[in-house]
Amino acid sequence: MSRARAVPLQLVPDLGAGAPGPAPRADDVVVPVEPSPSPTVVDRWDRSPCPQLVLDPTATTVLAANQTFWDWTGLERPAVLGTSFARLLPVGDRILWSTHCLPKLEAAGRVDEISVEVVGSGGQRRAAFLTASRSGAGLDEHVLVALFGAAERRRYEEDLLASKRRAEASEAQRARAEARLQHLAEHDSVTGLLNRRGLHAALLASLASGETAAGPAGAADSTTRRLVVFFIDLDGFKQVNDSTGHAGGDALLAKVAERLRATVRPEAALARFAGDEFVLLDAMPAGGEGAVLEEVCQRILAALAQPVVISGVEVVVSASIGVARAADCAAPAGAVGPEEQAEALLHRADAAMYAVKRGGRGGWRIHDPGASDPAADRLRLLEQLRHGIADGQLRLHHQPRVDLASGRTTGVEALVRWQHPERGLLPPAEFIEVAEESGLVRELGAWVLEAAVAQAAAWNASGRSLEVSVNVSARQLADPDLSSTVATALARHGVPASQLVLEITETALMLDPVAAATTLRRLADLGTRIAVDDFGTGYASLTYLRRFPVHELKVDKSFVDGVARDSGDRAIVATCLQLAHALGLTSVAEGVETREQRDALAELGCHVVQGYLFGRPVPAELLAP
């Protein structure tokens, strides 16, 4: 994988001037833009009071950081730039970032005031509030992360110093000052509710006590109370914040907190978790628990649905509520600690809340303990794949490409497989999507290219010359270093460029036709052959197709399936083949499984075919001569 490029940055307001104010937000700090003619702009961003980082559009890789970040953490640039942002966080916060913050960024475009720790040099942890926002578009899209807390910390330290001086005269004053500091540390300044730290303490206390008052013999009756977590997220808060400003947004949050306090039991713990998210902890009667949970959720939704006037504008708020029961998260004694139980409970309530949002918002749902967690499963699969690439778990299988006129095997398509240590040999459908979404497909594609060219060299050495086709993803096509990567691999193994076919889907080509044409010309200049894969399923126009330096058209399997029995499919295939021949291109049909399909393709003048009729993908040593 290539090293991340440097990102030019421009400071918007100067946060270093004036008295300490409210905690800065990510959109009040810096955004990547085109290089500024003034060198002082970068200097000012570099010395901004807040440590700041710029991540790639997937919010996974660190592209840049200001000098304040390096001074604050003591880390070295080579150890951070171009690596995973999650590596800077301890395990608990890493889970929070991946399962809570990333979905929030995807859904709302920003994450506000998440309390985390950052692991600096020597493993030292530094507490901070994290705010992240997505900015830019297209190639300039990025995610900006700001870590702050210095201003608040200064105020707390000043209060502590003043409190200690007063304590010399009065022990009672010291007790009050310490209580005030404890309150500040565990409560949100906007709403007065518990903050995330205070919620964590309350949740641990509830789990430690069991939060139950059992009836006779521990039976679950009306006297038994069980801990339940309600994760409440406001729907459309970003629009309110954008239209009324941050002051209006804070006023709405304060009003929501007031209504929640009036709705729940006085004994319940209520917290502002982050941004527009609130968490309620309460012990619910075990008898008729489902009806009780529904009543609580409906009461909350009804209270929040009442209009609120903010800056002269009437605002109606809805919410999505996810519910998780501690009893569903129970584990054998000693199996997991209270920290893990608390994290699991919040995560499950959060997952249930997002399920409500996916279903249309403005409702509630109880987490199903038997259901899998898609976000956690994908995160786990991604981490396993990352290790799989590094640990040599990938395998290359080859499917023969046959010249239809002679019946001779003239080439192969190289197809990746993953020898998973637990699940066995996995086809690409099991992991390509998560690799594409995360950007890991670049490393995966680089491995496939290297392994395929190396195998071509081995065949050449044995006197067997075969064309080798390799699939290129949309992310790889957007990589400006793709042509040099291909050239390096060919030169390293002494394989002629004409022996390599790069297959690119029609959809990938049309994401950015101008950039794709530039990259393809560079590859064609090397002497490699370019194939348009899955032709007929995308939306490439004839005009663009003529501009691309293409050598092959591959007709998609979905049309080949019916070529021998469906007049519509036969007409589509015939049109594709005629187009290829008119443009002087090699025509290839994939997914050929029957003799009838082969014969129909031969009648239509198809040049090359591949599919189970001629051979399944197999390791190189099992490929028939």
The answer to the question of residue 189 being in a domain is: no
CATH number of the domain to which 120 belongs: 3.30.450.20
- 191-211 pLDDT, tens digit each: 999 998 999 999 998 888 765
Q: What is the mean pLDDT of residues 337-361?
A: 85
Q: 80 is written with which tokens?
A: 């951070």
pLDDT at 531: 93
Domains contained in the chain, number? 3
CB 532 within 8 A of CB 509: yes
Distance CA 361, CA 408 (A): 58
pLDDT at 151: 57
- Residue 335 predicted with pLDDT over 50: no
Asked if 366 and 385 sit in the same domain, the reply is no
Asked if 346 and 410 sit in the same domain, the reply is no
Asked if 324 and 387 sit in the same domain, the reply is no
Q: Which strand (E) or helix (H) includes residue 571?
A: helix 567-582
The answer to the question of residue 340 being in a domain is: yes
CB 260 within 8 A of CB 270: yes
CATH number of the domain to which 306 belongs: 3.30.70.270
Instruction: Judge if pTM exceeds 0.85.
Output: no
Asked if 358 and 404 sit in the same domain, the reply is no
Least confident of 354-368, 375-389, 473-487, 527-541: 527-541
- 302-311 pLDDT, tens digit each: 998 888 888 7
- 139-161 pLDDT, tens digit each: 888 999 998 765 555 655 566 66
Domain closes at, from 371, 391, 412: 371
- Nearest C-alpha neighbor of 303 from the set 263, 334, 338, 339: 263
The answer to the question of residue 384 being in a domain is: yes
Cα atoms in the 13 Å half-sphere on the side-chain side of 585: 26
pLDDT at 511: 80
pLDDT at 331: 54
Asked if 582 and 613 sit in the same domain, the reply is yes
The distance of Cα 480 from the centroid of its chain, to the nearest Å, equals: 23
Asked if 112 and 65 sit in the same domain, the reply is yes
Asked if 358 and 407 sit in the same domain, the reply is no
Asked if 499 and 605 sit in the same domain, the reply is yes
Domain closes at, from 337, 353, 371: 371
Range of the domain at 207: 196-211+224-371
Domain closes at, from 309, 336, 371: 371
Q: What is the mean pLDDT of residues 336-340?
A: 75
Q: At 355, give phi and psi (nearest 5°).
A: -65, -35
- Average pLDDT of the chain is 83
- Nearest C-alpha neighbor of 536 from the set 570, 552, 519, 559: 559
The answer to the question of residue 391 being in a domain is: yes
- 215-227 pLDDT, tens digit each: 333 444 555 778 9
Asked if 282 and 367 sit in the same domain, the reply is yes
Asked if 421 and 320 sit in the same domain, the reply is no
User: Reduced to 3 states, what is the DSSP secondary structure of residue 616?
Assistant: coil
Report DSSP letters for 458-499, one per residue. Answer: HHHHTT---EEEEEE-HHHHT-TTHHHHHHHHHHHHT--GGG
The answer to the question of residue 12 being in a domain is: no
Asked if 441 and 416 sit in the same domain, the reply is yes
Asked if 201 and 260 sit in the same domain, the reply is yes
43 compared with 258, residue with greater pLDDT = 258
Q: How confident is the model at residue 290 (pLDDT cuts 50, 70, 90)?
A: confident
